[in-house]
Amino acid sequence: MARPNEQVGALLQEYADLVAITGGAPYRARVYEKAARSVAGHHLDVSTLDAAGLREIPNVGDSIAAKVVEYFRTGRIEEVERLRARIPAGVRELTRIPTLGPRKAMMLYDERGIASVQDLLDALDAGRLKGLKGFGPKTEENLRHGITLLRQAGGRVTLDVAMELAEEIVAALSAVPECERCAYAGSLRRMRETVGDLDILAASTKPRPLMKALTGLQLVSEVIAHGDTKTSVRTTTGMQVDLRVVPPESWGAALQYFTGSKAHNVRTREIAVRQDLKLSEYGLFTVPPAQRRRRRKAGLTAEQEAVAEVLEPDGQGEPREPPDSEAGELVVSKSEKEVYARIGLPWIPPTLREDRGEIEAARDGTLPDVVTEQDIRGDLHTHTDLTDGVAPMTEMVAAAAERGYDYYAITDHAPNLYMQRMTDEKMLAQREQLHALAKRYPRLTLLHGTELNIDPDGEVDWPAEFLAGFDICVASVHSHFNQTRAQLTRRLVRACENPHVNVIGHPTARLIGHRPPIDVDLEAVYEACAHTGTALEVNASPDRLDLGDENILAARRHGVRFAVDTDAHAVAHLDYLRYGVGTAQRGWLTADEVINTWPLRRLRTFLRKGRKGRKKP
């Protein structure tokens, strides 16, 4: 449903960028930007709307509605094409470099002919920016740093981008009659925070029609390799997709193999080898005595043998021939559970398969019962169009009810984020509206909260009396990211010590591929959270995933509680929950450690943070 909306949103955003770069009136760029957000986040499929319907969307008037109609009629927007012809795509790409905005990008293009990130790097190396107004030594340094940040993502994409593509491909392949099963594997199934390429697995006795279906997809721009059981393609967005087709009876072993990680696979194969078994993507096999003798003679340790067995799980290696009689008898291979069981392990959730102790835990029976999406009873950090969200409260709440939540918190920004223009009156009026709305949803408890801004000293927007009126307060860092480590640590610890602050939102403030995490002594923050009864957020927005998995692993050792929240700014963002839960799983979190899996009563007790309960009139 969201795809056409996102397409149009992206196109309007591009137009906004191009207007800004070409130096059009600043309000014009802003208006297209607002419209882009509104359209992308709109709850109805915009491809089904006529001009009148489109004008119902906030920030969409006659002119933009006409452009959207034009897009669905012709596949393009003339005005956008006109600007594209004037400005090379690489110039817009330049504005993705942090600290480089539209004005400077245009100056680089006009004055030095720089039309790509690589051009810029070359110009920096050749000292060709010297004498250009506004580009001193410090700016050059910032640009280099920004390019490094951008490249660190290294062609990897965020989870939502990978997931959307994967689900589209899996759906297309599943529709092929010869397809018995199809699923995505690899780092996406493990929910790593970024994904380099997609591993798609299918089960069929007739692989050819599946290969053909993949290469025939509209989104494919190039066929990289095309064999009997493996096909690799590149999509129009530049992503590599590998499809492997295996016999249906090999499904479980293949899924295990292609889900990885490599380190996890080495360990599982090692365990198999020790039991005179052999685990491949085709199944778990006995090792015939002759082969066993050869093994012993070669003097390979189980580990060496396991390493030799493991090809690159991300599809680098050539597909092996299915095993012949020499390989021994097939023991199991139909399901992952069978495969793990036969080597003496319980099934291990894909999100744990990183060789970070899960093998040992599985063997000892101490594998965590990780939190699942079904465990989540409510979202505790969401926005509406009262601040920077794009959907009215009524729509956000309706969507929350639709998801079957027990409770749901609206947490719009507080006044210190000045651009949001929040006031006490607006916040109190929203509370009234929320209470009125609550009557329509007897099974959903609506919580009125706010997302406070943690200022450089660790103070938040409102005094205690006003904060006491909220059911829940999230508090987050939104600026002054470059304070010293000591200042930042003090700042977050002070926020935790505020008796009204319940959750620290996106604790490291990182934006994946754009902004590094703040330099803070997280151990001190974990300690403060555990001590004060403040939860740490696992922000599910795919650009953030903050805290990330490794930080979660560290934090939980302090006995910290967590809140897995979407920070939704649109109805569609409520679905980001899956990425937050995936990240929480990668951090080994159980439901009991996540406050928004708790029944309302227990949650309320936690939110009081040791204060006396408010008296209800």
Backbone angles phi, psi at 164, to 5 degrees: -60, -45
142 sits near DNA (criterion: CB under 7 A): yes
482 sits near DNA (criterion: CB under 7 A): yes
22, 47, 116, 139: which one binds DNA (CB under 7 A) = 139
149 sits near DNA (criterion: CB under 7 A): no
Answer whether 213's CB lies under 8 Å from 177's CB: no
9, 41, 102, 533: which one binds DNA (CB under 7 A) = 102
> Closest Cα partner for 305 from 344, 266, 333, 257?
266
The least distance separating DNA from the CB of residue 518, rounded to whole angstroms, comes to 11
Stretch that binds DNA, among 130-138, 194-202, 250-258, 285-293 (CB under 7 A): 130-138
Stretch that binds DNA, among 321-329, 363-371, 473-481, 493-501 (CB under 7 A): 473-481
48, 63, 118, 236: which one binds DNA (CB under 7 A) = 63
Rounded CA-CA distance 162/198 in Å is 7
Applying the rule CB under 7 A, the residues between 151 and 170 that interact with DNA are none
Three-state SS string over 349-364 comes to: CHHHCCCCCHHHHHHH
Residue whose CB is less far from DNA, 34 or 558: 34
Stretch that binds DNA, among 100-108, 109-117, 249-257, 517-525 (CB under 7 A): 100-108
40, 64, 254, 563: which one binds DNA (CB under 7 A) = 64
Query: What residues have CB less than 8 Å from 615, skipping those under 6 apart?
Result: none
479 sits near DNA (criterion: CB under 7 A): yes
H-type helices in 411-461, by residue range? 424-438
Rounded CA-CA distance 247/279 in Å is 16
278 sits near DNA (criterion: CB under 7 A): no
The least distance separating DNA from the CB of residue 569, rounded to whole angstroms, comes to 12
DSSP for residue 350: G
Applying the rule CB under 7 A, the residues between 349 and 408 that interact with DNA are 388
Token digits of residue 262: 């490599």
Answer whether 429's CB lies under 8 Å from 386's CB: no
DSSP H or E stretch at residue 251: helix 251-259
For strands 240-246 and 197-203, give the pairing.
parallel
Residue whose CB is less far from DNA, 30 or 181: 30
> Closest Cα partner for 142 from 123, 155, 124?
124
Applying the rule CB under 7 A, the residues between 288 and 347 that interact with DNA are none
Residue whose CB is less far from DNA, 101 or 344: 101
22 sits near DNA (criterion: CB under 7 A): no
Q: Hey, which bits of 121-239 come out as E strands?
A: 157-158, 181-184, 194-195, 197-203, 220-226, 230-235
The site map against DNA for 505-544 (x = CB under 7 A) is ------x--xx-----------------------------
128, 342, 478, 558: which one binds DNA (CB under 7 A) = 478
Backbone angles phi, psi at 189, to 5 degrees: -65, -30
Applying the rule CB under 7 A, the residues between 570 and 589 that interact with DNA are none
Size of the site for DNA (CB under 7 A): 46
> Closest Cα partner for 40 from 217, 160, 213, 202?
160
Applying the rule CB under 7 A, the residues between 32 and 51 that interact with DNA are 32, 35
316, 419, 442, 616: which one binds DNA (CB under 7 A) = 419
Token digits of residue 86: 């004037």
Answer whether 566's CB lies under 8 Å from 572's CB: no
Answer whether 232's CB lies under 8 Å from 242's CB: yes
235, 420, 551, 585: which one binds DNA (CB under 7 A) = 420
> Closest Cα partner for 585 from 429, 314, 353, 268?
353
Stretch that binds DNA, among 169-177, 347-355, 475-483, 574-582 (CB under 7 A): 475-483
Rounded CA-CA distance 433/426 in Å is 11
Residue whose CB is less far from DNA, 59 or 433: 59
140 sits near DNA (criterion: CB under 7 A): yes
16 sits near DNA (criterion: CB under 7 A): no
Token digits of residue 338: 């069978």
> Closest Cα partner for 382 from 149, 143, 569, 191?
569
485 sits near DNA (criterion: CB under 7 A): no
436 sits near DNA (criterion: CB under 7 A): no
298, 299, 418, 612: which one binds DNA (CB under 7 A) = 418
Binding site for DNA (CB under 7 A): 25, 27-28, 30-32, 35, 55, 58-65, 95, 98-105, 133-140, 142, 388, 418-421, 478-480, 482, 511, 514-515
